[in-house]
Structure 1
Amino acid sequence: MGELARDAEFTEFARARAPWLRKVGYLLCGDWHRADDLVQASMLRLYTSWHRAGQVENIDGYARRTLINVFLAEQRGPWWQRVVNHEREPDPEVLADARSATVLDLDAALDLRAALAALPPRQRAAVVLRYYCDLSVDQTAEILQCSAGNVKSQTWHGLKTLRVRLESGAADTMEGRGL
């Protein structure tokens, strides 16, 4: 395959899959701009290894694994590389996603995103891969490069933490409304 054909193939893949990878990135980091950075870094890695990536059976899985690896590597980096501002208003895209959802409950969607963002990186990755990407335990273990038991444990702890946070948030909301 010539270089031009390879570039065209990669460009087609990137155009088709970047929006999906961006959503996965957002669920991992909780920030659309940071998700864009994760996707950009992932696409760069994919492009440089496209000769190998083009030969794998499941290119979407390869791209997802690359995104997860970029996210986890970023989490291990120095604290000054990450600036998190939780005081800003929700992104318009978050609001648009919530409006287009089947169940229109913006408060619940924002609570879930905040609770998800509070999870440790590996728990967040396990929950996102298992329940957003709908992967099996074994597939998730392969992507996270850990055992199936570790995935089950990370997922269990992540879901437990999400339940506690969401239940306490619902109780706070009801008290605030005088219910």
Structure 2
Amino acid sequence: MERELADHLESLHADAYGWALHCCAGDFSRAEEVLQNAYLKLASGRSRPAGASSFKTWWFGVIRYTAHEEFRRLRYRESLLGKLWLQISGDFQDPRPSPSHQAELDEQTLQLRAALAQLPTRQAEVLHLVFYQDLTLSEAAVVMKVGLGSVRQHYERGKARLRSLLQTSDSDHENLLR
């Protein structure tokens, strides 16, 4: 089994590197790092082919997901370094909103949560996965274990229903202020 896996990986290495390079927007060093981390995931047992798709499809998915993880880590590190640099240079401004703005944000959050609670379960799930978990619709379909068409339909219906609920809430709020 291990020999067969090694042979698969060896035969796909050039294609895998090309895919990693594509996922890293042409950055050679990042692509090498992503591919190495993907190999480490496989070697440590954190990722194993399930047999649901071809080995190449599965392997390219692991590489894509690893590249996405690396991009998020890089973006997080850059944001921390940027904040530190601004603090050191004296240009740092407190990112917290003013108390009045925070109260407005809290009220909007409560309205959004109340509107989300009124949505059917599937619509609320897909909106949560897409907006809060930053998944694509196809990734949300895999997580929810439903078809992509079904997820698209729940997504569109959920957005439309949420929009109408929030507009109704805004008009109710304006009527209270009059």
Question: TM-score when scaled to structure 1?
Answer: 0.43
Q: Relative contact order (C-alpha < 8 Å, sep 6+): which is higher?
A: 1
Instruction: Specify the structure having the higher radius of gyration (Cα).
Output: 2
